[in-house]
Amino acid sequence: MLCHARILIVVVLCFTWLGGCHSRSAQYHGPLLGTSKSNTLRFDNGQKPPSVTVGASTASLRSRSRQVLHATALPVFEHMRSFIRPVYFQRTKTSPAGCPEKCLCQTGLDRAISVVDCSSQMLVDVPDFPVSVEEIRLQNNLIQTIRCTSFEGLVKLKTLDLSENRIDTLYNCSFDGLASLERLWLGQNQLSFLPADVFQSLRSLELLDLGRNGLTHLGNNTFHGLSSVVSLWLQENQLHYRPGTFEVGTFRGLTSLESLHLEGNQQDMTEDFTYPDQALSCATTLRRLWLDGHPKALGPGFLSLTQLTHLSFAADDVSSCYMLSDIPPDFFKNLGTKEPLYLNMSSCSFTFISPELFKYVPNIFSLDLSFNQNLLIDGFEKASEGLQNSNLTVLNISQLVNAWVIYNEIRNTTFRYLKHTKLRVLRLDGCSLINIAPQAILDLPQSIEFLSLHDNKIINAEALLSMNHLQNLKDAIISRQVHYKSDMARAAPPRPGLVSLHRSEEAASTSHYSDMARAAPPRPGLVSLHRSEETASTSHYRTRNNPSRVQPGLDQNKLLASSLHMPLKERVDSHGQLPIRLGSDFCGDLMTAAGQSSVVSKSKNDFIPIPLPRRLERLDASDINLDYDIPRIQFFNNRVLRYLDLSSNHVKCFGGPVSGLPALQLLDLSKNWCFRMNPLFFSYMPSLKTLLLQENMLGKSLAEDVDGVTFSALSSLESLDLSQNIIEDLSESAFLHNTNLRLVNLSNNELNQFSPSLASNTKLQTLDLSHNLLTEISETTCNQLLYIKKHNSNFTVRLAGNHRLVCDCENLYFLNFVSRHPEVFETVTSVQCRLPDGSNVSYDHLERFLPELYASCISQTIFQGVLVAFFLLAGGLAMSALYHFKRWQWRYLYYVGKSRLHMGSMILANQRVAQAFITYDQENRRLRTLMRNVFLPRLHGLGVTTVLGETDFEAGFKAPSIAGAVTNTSKTLVFLSPDIFQDFYRQLEVNMAILHELHLRRPVLIPVLLLREEALSSPPQGNQSRDQTSCQPPAAGDGAGIEGSRTNAADVRQVHSPHRPRARRVDDFTRFMQLLRDFPPEISAFLKGQVHRCLVYTGDTASFWEHLKTVIQADENN
């Protein structure tokens, strides 16, 4: 009854809460059930805007509604989802004032239905809707006809989605009365004809979707009355570009039209093909236009489109663009717009573009010629002649290469016509470029701000130095290259296991190497070219015999080009001297220490200089396969670089230091699998905020940095990722100087302890220690984590995946810390610790586990205290013995003293709650049955009140409950059986009773001996002569003694023990003494001295219970 009452209360409270939410349901009109007007007016990407997704399936809508409810409702809603729909989405029979059948409805603040979702319900007719509805979703049904009365009276309707049906018939009155309608979706139906004036009453309509139908003709009055339409979608119909398809006045009257989709209507080039320029001439407000592209000039009607800013012929899944034959040079002659023009002609299958083509669009702002794979770079060079002196700002010529072309190149003349443009963005991605001529970079205008060379095959870095000419370049992407090699790389000896190509003639020059690169693609594994004579190579370095680094007359650009990727390997000069190295090099010193001799210069000027464009802010050089160490580098000519990505480059050693980057804020060195790092590598990066070092092997380097020098100079650092670095240990001062740290990721390492001090990192928000080998968290670290949490409420620690965390006394402080402060840890329920027996316990169960662990750890704590006292005092052994024999007295004093110290506690209050506290072997099933069916009923029948631990104790700490039961009852009744003291708590109960008896100086403990299991189940015999209820030995002259006196009551049987052989038949006294041998010594000693008080249970006899009652009630008034 109590359970049912609680459930009823919860249900009433939930319905009360739902009533309050019902009145606030309008707040969910966002992503859940509606879309704001501002999100549905202008769409230029050719795809259905986000508001279409409101017509998702019922299951999807239900899922999203649950997400909103779960974010705001009480936790009880997880178990009461059946109550959600009756409030938010009413299901009733069809009624003018109700929700239609099979539909989901949402009400507004006035409790009137505002949104009706009937999508995906296999409807064949339009149901009746309440007049208050503002949004109707009927997509994905089987509706064929929209009648004149289908939406009659819906004057508030703003959004109507009829897409993905089978509608083939509309009447000119189908939408009468919908004066407030703003968005109408009719896409993906079977419409082949639109009657005149069908939309004339839709004065407020802003978006009309008629795409993916079968329309073949548009008349002068088709769109009559749509003066407010901003976007019109007619893509993927049968509106062929030929005379008669679009009447001249088709778009007349669309005075607000800005976006028009006509792509996907003309797949093939026909003899009568013509762009619908006459019809488009009436759409003078048009700004964005999508068309299919074919090589026929635009008609004179385009002269009227003076506000056009976006013109797309690009081929994709919808539109078609086939310029296989030569596009007419005067293709854009009639394009009358003077606005900055975005022109998209990607994937148009160009094979040739006339130099005259773009002369007719000097106002061109953006040009996309990407994925014209047959045009090639040379074809673009010819076409670019028409772009000179234009307003071109954005140029995309990515993927101008055939699949069968292995390599490509940018020649000296490729960009010669772009010199006088306003170009700011240039994309050359995926062109299989193997080389870029320096002159080509020099021909680019100074206005270039963005340059992308992503996904190419550039192997010569020399031309990249010409980028210094681009003084306004802000963003450069040179990621994902095959290999970067320069002329100087030929002088480097080959790396072990790599293929090298030796050239026998020293006269080979850089130009010759470039010619060779153009003549043939690089061979797999070909990483360097070597000269057979070392004279030329050694002359480039500072040595004992060559103090000047560069010979007079040597081209400085070549030197800088070579220094970009020059491997710091040993060189042997022409005189056979020891190998030499460029300057003082950390990575080179490691090689020397490994047994390779080298001559190292200690000059302060042996940084390798690398120039950068003056205004460059972002450089992405990831995945360019450097495969070299990073030496001492000094970037110059740039003070504003903020982003540098050198990830995935197989760099084995971060030597450095790297200087000249005072403004650098993000440095990505991840995924290099680097195994060594100079502690001074980051010494010259004062502004660095984000440092990504994941997926390397820096564990050894960080462990050796005992002084915490590595990150000490990064005072502005906010985010540090060191995950997957095989880190086993970190120094205490690793993050001492990084006071602005907000994120430290140390996940997926091999940390067995966390030593760094976090006292100064009060701004830290996330410390990720997940998936390590942590066994414990020190008390100092716990205190620091709590200190940070108090100063920063957003701080959290991640510990998931640390399967070696142990639940033992050594880690007790941390376990208590987790239990008391779970808010410090993220998803603490997923964290587990290992018990000594190998099993795991999750941290959300710590509250139940800690008391037992705490109790087991007390003895260890006391023992440790005694052990310390043993070394401090000469009498250690005596103290240990005293502890052994007095431990139960101490426990007794502890709990009694605890009750006196806690005056408000009622656990050990001196109040009599029962006459007897009963303890027995609770693991013995037969004894438990006997206790429930015989012992307790007999005692209660005699008027004896009892306390039984397994039924009367409250949940929580057992020890205080035991102490309270012993001290607040008159007697403690213990039923002695062989295995009773295998349980720790049985020992505690008996010892508490013994000590309480000593304290009161009157009998408290009543032992009852259970020697035979037959006595536990045999009924009393009618011919029983007398009862033996004492454990005392038989008196002199007693014929059969105890054994004979109770033969009829309970037969003597052999008692088996797993620890000793089968016992022989003996009298009760002998069995009692043998039983005491297996008891704890303190209990055994006490019982031996009190054998006269021991009672023997021989069967369920009245005399036994009467005698037991007498013993229990004795001294009760004392």
pLDDT per residue as tens digits for the range 495-545: 333 333 233 333 333 333 333 333 333 333 323 323 333 333 333 333 333
Residue 271 burial (10 A CB sphere; 0-12, 13-18, 19+): exposed
How far apart CA 56 and CA 65 sit, in angstroms, is: 12
Is residue 72's pLDDT more than 70? Answer: no
Q: What is the pLDDT of residue 1098?
A: 78
Q: What is the pLDDT of residue 404?
A: 82
pLDDT band at 140 (very low <50, low <70, confident <90, very high): very high
pLDDT digits 0-9 by tens, 345-373: 999 989 999 999 999 999 999 999 999 99
Q: What is the pLDDT of residue 12?
A: 41
Q: Give the H or E element holding residue 588.
A: helix 586-593
Q: What is the pLDDT of residue 1015?
A: 53
Mean pLDDT, residues 96-118 taken together: 86
Is residue 88's pLDDT more than 90? Answer: no
Mean pLDDT, residues 880-907 taken together: 64
How far apart CA 506 and CA 700 sit, in angstroms, is: 43
Is residue 784's pLDDT more than 80? Answer: yes
Q: Give the H or E element holding residue 870.
A: helix 846-872
What type of residue sits at position 445?
Answer: P
**Percent above pLDDT 70 for the chain:** 73
CATH class of residue range 914-1113: alpha beta
Q: 109 by DSSP, 3-state: which?
A: coil
Q: What does the mean pLDDT of the chain come to?
A: 76
Is residue 93's pLDDT more than 90? Answer: no
- CA 696 to chain centroid: 21
Is residue 168's pLDDT more than 50? Answer: yes
Q: Give the H or E element holding residue 863.
A: helix 846-872
pLDDT band at 682 (very low <50, low <70, confident <90, very high): very high
Domain ranges of the chain: 17-35+53-161, 914-1113
Shortest CA distance to 164 belongs to which of 120, 107, 226, 217?
Answer: 120
Shortest CA distance to 1072 belongs to which of 1039, 1100, 1094?
Answer: 1094
Q: What is the pLDDT of residue 483?
A: 56
Residue that the structure tokens 């550039």 belong to: 458
pLDDT band at 603 (very low <50, low <70, confident <90, very high): very low
List, in sequence order, the alpha helices (H) in 139-294: 277-280
Q: What is the pLDDT of residue 7?
A: 47
Which string of b and e fits 337-352 if b means at least 16 CB within 10 Å? Answer: beeebbbbbbbbbbee
What type of residue sits at position 453?
Answer: L
pLDDT band at 379 (very low <50, low <70, confident <90, very high): very high
Among 370-379, 528-537, 931-940, the minimum mean pLDDT is found in: 528-537
Planar angle of CA 386, 615, 606, nearest 5 degrees: 125
Mean pLDDT, residues 792-810 taken together: 88
Q: What is the pLDDT of residue 1060?
A: 38
Mean pLDDT, residues 682-702 taken together: 95
pLDDT band at 26 (very low <50, low <70, confident <90, very high): very low
DSSP codes, 707-774: T--TTTT-TT--EEE--SS------TTTTTT-TT--EEE--SS--SS-----TT-TT--EEE--SS--
Q: What is the pLDDT of residue 542?
A: 35
pLDDT band at 1063 (very low <50, low <70, confident <90, very high): very low
Is residue 290's pLDDT more than 90? Answer: yes
Q: What is the pLDDT of residue 754?
A: 92
895/1089: higher pLDDT: 1089
Is residue 569's pLDDT more than 70? Answer: no
Q: What is the pLDDT of residue 588?
A: 65
pLDDT digits 0-9 by tens, 1071-1080: 778 888 888 8
Which string of b and e fits 529-558 if b means at least 16 CB within 10 Å? Answer: bbbeebebbbbbbbbeeeeebeeeeeeebb
Is residue 133's pLDDT more than 90? Answer: yes
How far apart CA 803 and CA 772 sit, in angstroms, is: 8
Pair 635, 660: CB distance under 8 Å: yes
Mean pLDDT, residues 298-313 taken together: 95
| E strands, 760-839, in order | 766-768, 796-798, 825-826, 832-834
